[in-house]
Structure 1
Amino acid sequence: MTTRSKGPAAGFDWLRNGFSVARRHPKPLLGGAALLVVACLLPSLITMPLQYRAMSAGTPLSPAAFIGSMVFSVLFGLLLVPLYAGYLQLVDAAERGLPAAATEIFKPYRNGEALRLIGYGLAMMLVYLVFFGLIIATTGGGVISWYMQAIAAQTSHLPPPALPQGFGIAIALFMLLGLLMMGFYSISLGQVALGRRPVFGAIGDGLIGALKNALPLLVFALSTFLAWIVLAIGFAIVALVLTLIGKLVGAWLALVLLIPLYLAFILLAFAVMFGAMYHLWRDVCGDDVVADFAQATAA
């Protein structure tokens, strides 16, 4: 599979296309985003009460409870990977003008593709751990020790410990890794979900595609950061106006008005994010798949 490198302006185009997709197909994409958000929140119904109880008691979670909650979150996260792929397939169907319904995010489970996608998620998790370990090995293990101490201090309502040596370098490397992983995940997930590539072939395409497009990925990250600042300011202004209205009429009215606004913001974020991921994959790897699909349809 050929991976293409794009110019810096492609990063802005990916974000613009993400907003365009959400605007042109609001019903299936926002509906699918709502189902996806509900699925993503399910693990918190178990882990949040445990954390709240520990904070209320002023004692940290026991090692067994902490490890158990982490394992549960990881396993449930793997079960969500087919839904991410299903949402990407939903975006693809909407962009092609094919029938697209919100429930299509469950299509990988219905079509027997879930195990392959869960395997992809597990392989990606191992890739993340390898890169994470390389950064920790490069900068020293002080960051991990500091993080565990910071969690214990927060639970015990104590001030956080001093930053370890090499913390700034570690943060810079993690930011660089996050930038590449953004493209890596978008391309590889698109290859597995839409390009029907084998898992390791898709991961290789994602890695090569991300490295080839590091500059447009940087432009995309900066554009996304600025766009969400503007949206957050607009959201805050609208929320302030609704709060003032609520003070005049009643606090219940502000709550009734603010909750739908907040939910709409979250759903828009999901729709735009996956729309941008789709067009990123399509620019770097997807044109061949689109052309093959068009030829098959014509035949």
Structure 2
Amino acid sequence: MATRSKGPGAGFGWLTRGIDVARRHPRPLLGGAGLLLVACLLPSLATLPFQFHAMQPGAQPNPVVFGGLMLFSMLLGLLVVPLYAGYLQVIDAAERGQRPRARDIFKPYAQGQAPRLIGYALVLMVVFVALFALVLLAAGGGLVGWYMQAIAAQANHLPPPGLPAGFMSTFALLMVLWLFLMGFYAISLGQVSLGNRSVLGSIGDGVTGALKNVLPLLVFALSLTLVWIVATIALVLLVLVVGLLAKLVGMWLVFVLAIPLYILMVLAMYAVMFGVMYHLWRDVCGDDAAAGLAPAAI
């Protein structure tokens, strides 16, 4: 299946259309985002007692236990990936003029698509781990050890260790890798969720589509940074206003206003993020896909 190369301005368009889709379809997207948020928190909650134990004063983090917890959380996270696909399908249905419901994010499980999507996520996890391992081996072999020392220092209330050699070069490589993976994940997830592509076909389309669109991905990243700065300033001003009201009325107002606003902000971020992914996929290869019309190959 062909993937297309877009101009630099497409990166800004993905962001604006992602924001707009959340604005135009708030009920299914925010409701679906709430269900998705709960599902995403479950893997972290499963390992929370072990994380609290590792942060006890005097506790020495065991790299084997730490790696095992990360692996366990990642395996649980595989079960959430079909819900990501379901959420993209909700966005697609809304954009096509249908009336999806928030609970439609569970359709991949109900329609038997979950095994293929979990297989896709498993392959993707192997690819991600291999790429990050290559970056760490190439430019930052001591970064993992430094991270474990930082966790131990935090648990024992000690100053963090100094940055290891090669930290900045590793950081730069990880930023480049993040830029590529951002496009790769959006395209491949769209293909396996909406484009009726096989697992390997979706991953191949993700690779070629991301490589063809590095420049618009860079523009998107810069646009996202600017929007994030503006949003942060607005959030700080909102916190100052709420704090002033709390002094005048009482601290109970902070909980009444701040908690719902925080939850709404997180849900809006989910909706915008998946809206961006959907429009990125649709620009690069969506017109070639007959979404929902034919069964996908394994």
Gaps in structure 2 of 5+ consecutive residues: none
Supply the distance in 2 between the matched residues of 1:164 and 1:63 (Cα, whole angstroms).
18
**1:210 offset after TM fit, Å?**
0.4
- The aligned counterpart of 1:174 is 174
Q: Compared with structure 1, are the counterparts of its residues 150 and 100 closer, same or farther at alpha carbon in structure 2 (3 Å cutoff)?
A: same
Supply the distance in 1 between the matched residues of 2:56 and 2:248 (Cα, whole angstroms).
35
More off after superposition, 184-193 vs 163-172 = 163-172
- The aligned counterpart of 1:12 is 12
Q: Compared with structure 1, are the counterparts of its residues 254 and 140 closer, same or farther at alpha carbon in structure 2 (3 Å cutoff)?
A: closer
Gaps in structure 1 of 5+ consecutive residues: none
- The aligned counterpart of 1:131 is 131
1:104 aligns to 2:104 (yes or no): yes
- Please list the CA deviations of residues 134-165 of structure 1 after superposition, one character each: whole Å capped at 9, or x if unmatched: 21222151222222222222222222222222
- The aligned counterpart of 2:76 is 76
- The aligned counterpart of 1:148 is 148
User: Percent identity at matched positions?
Assistant: 62
- Please list the CA deviations of residues 214-256 of structure 1 after superposition, one character each: whole Å capped at 9, or x if unmatched: 0000000111111122112212212221221122111111111
Counterpart residue identity of residue 149, structure 1 = Q
Supply the distance in 2 between the matched residues of 1:288 and 1:43 (Cα, whole angstroms).
35
In the alignment of these two chains, the number of paired residues is: 294
- The aligned counterpart of 1:55 is 55
- Identify, as 1 or 2, the structure richer in helix: 1
Supply the distance in 1 between the matched residues of 2:63 and 2:148 (Cα, whole angstroms).
12
Checking the alignment, whether the CA contact within 8 Å between 2:150 and 2:160 is kept in structure 1 is: yes
More off after superposition, 29-38 vs 58-67 = 58-67
Q: Compared with structure 1, are the counterparts of its residues 144 and 53 closer, same or farther at alpha carbon in structure 2 (3 Å cutoff)?
A: closer
More off after superposition, 256-265 vs 234-243 = 234-243
Secondary structure in structure 2 of the residue aligned to 1:42: helix
**1:61 offset after TM fit, Å?**
4.0
TM-score (norm 1): 0.93
- The aligned counterpart of 1:264 is 264
More off after superposition, 48-57 vs 34-43 = 48-57
Query: Superposition RMSD on alpha carbons, in Å?
Result: 1.8
Supply the distance in 2 between the matched residues of 1:198 and 1:116 (Cα, whole angstroms).
8
Checking the alignment, whether the CA contact within 8 Å between 1:58 and 1:157 is kept in structure 2 is: no
More off after superposition, 250-259 vs 185-194 = 250-259
Checking the alignment, whether the CA contact within 8 Å between 2:194 and 2:291 is kept in structure 1 is: no
TM-score (norm 2): 0.94
